[in-house]
Amino acid sequence: MAEHQRAAPRTRRWHVAALDLVESGLRLVAAALAAVGAAALAGIFVLVLGAVLMRYVWGRPLAFTEELSGLLMTVAVFTLLPATVLREAHIRVTLVSERLRGLPARGLFVLAQAVLVAFCVLFLREAWAISAFTAQLNLMSEQSRLPLAPFLYLSTASVALAGVAGAWRALQPLAPATGTAEAADAAERLDAAHTAHTIHAAQALDASRAPDRPDATVGPSR
């Protein structure tokens, strides 16, 4: 019995350590992909700036600006997706979720994550086939003649990581995911208490000044 009691805390520590390891690994990979996305956005800025200078200063516009900008924008959108899902920073419609409490709120959150994971699985099934077909034919962009397969594989891998992040968040949500409604209720209660205190103080001040006021019912003196 004593050995079992000593083993229980050790098991919990290993469990917490394993969860922290998975969380750290996902955050590390998502951060690496996010860095690629940030570099792609910076590349778009530099490319557009260079195209403007080439067109209006030297009179020699770059022919591949729009094409390469589109590829970089695609990379940025997909590579920033895992970090967004992992941090739960994406846009949400909270008309229903903000009115739920406890287990219903948790169930709705898990359902939303399940929809995200299902979308990622369906997307991967199609995107992987397209990526393999593109790599097999060695397809390239029309103007810049860049191979398209690396862009497709990177985007596909990013969606795969986003699906993994969504499934992980369904099991280990961040604190705001389940505590938003409770925090909103606490804030509303605090505001209501503050408003009631202000009204009470104003009424008390008004009552203390009442004897000094002239009687409004008495007519003007003659």
| Residue 220 domain-assigned (yes or no) | no
| Residue 217 domain-assigned (yes or no) | no
Question: Poorest-confidence range of 20-24, 115-119, 150-154?
Answer: 20-24
Residue 78: which of 161, 158, 150, 164 has the closest Cα?
158
Cα 111 from Cα 39, distance rounded (Å): 34
Q: Which domain holds residue 179?
A: 2-198
Structure tokens at 128: 């992987």
Q: Say what the pLDDT of residue 216 is.
A: 45
Q: Is the pLDDT of residue 37 over 70?
A: yes
Q: Say what the pLDDT of residue 131 is.
A: 93
Q: Report the range out of 18-27, 37-46, 166-175 with the highest average pLDDT.
A: 37-46
Q: Is the pLDDT of residue 203 over 70?
A: no
Give 38-63 pLDDT, tens digit per residue. 999 999 999 999 888 888 888 787 77
Q: Say what the pLDDT of residue 97 is.
A: 77
N- to C-terminal Cα distance for the chain?
A: 99
More confident residue, 6 or 70: 70
Backbone angles phi, psi at 147, to 5 degrees: -65, 135
Q: Is the pLDDT of residue 222 over 50?
A: no
Total tally of structural domains belonging to the chain: 1
Please state the pTM of the whole predicted model. Answer: 0.68
Cα 220 from Cα 109, distance rounded (Å): 70
| Residue 178 domain-assigned (yes or no) | yes
Q: Say what the pLDDT of residue 204 is.
A: 65
**Three-class DSSP category at 140:** strand
| Residue 214 domain-assigned (yes or no) | no
| Residue 152 domain-assigned (yes or no) | yes
| Residue 139 domain-assigned (yes or no) | yes
Q: Say what the pLDDT of residue 177 is.
A: 42
Average pLDDT, the chain: 80
More confident residue, 173 or 203: 173
| Residue 193 domain-assigned (yes or no) | yes
Q: Say what the pLDDT of residue 116 is.
A: 92
Q: Say what the pLDDT of residue 12 is.
A: 72
22 dihedral zone (left: phi>0; alpha: psi -120 to 50; beta): alpha
| Residue 205 domain-assigned (yes or no) | no
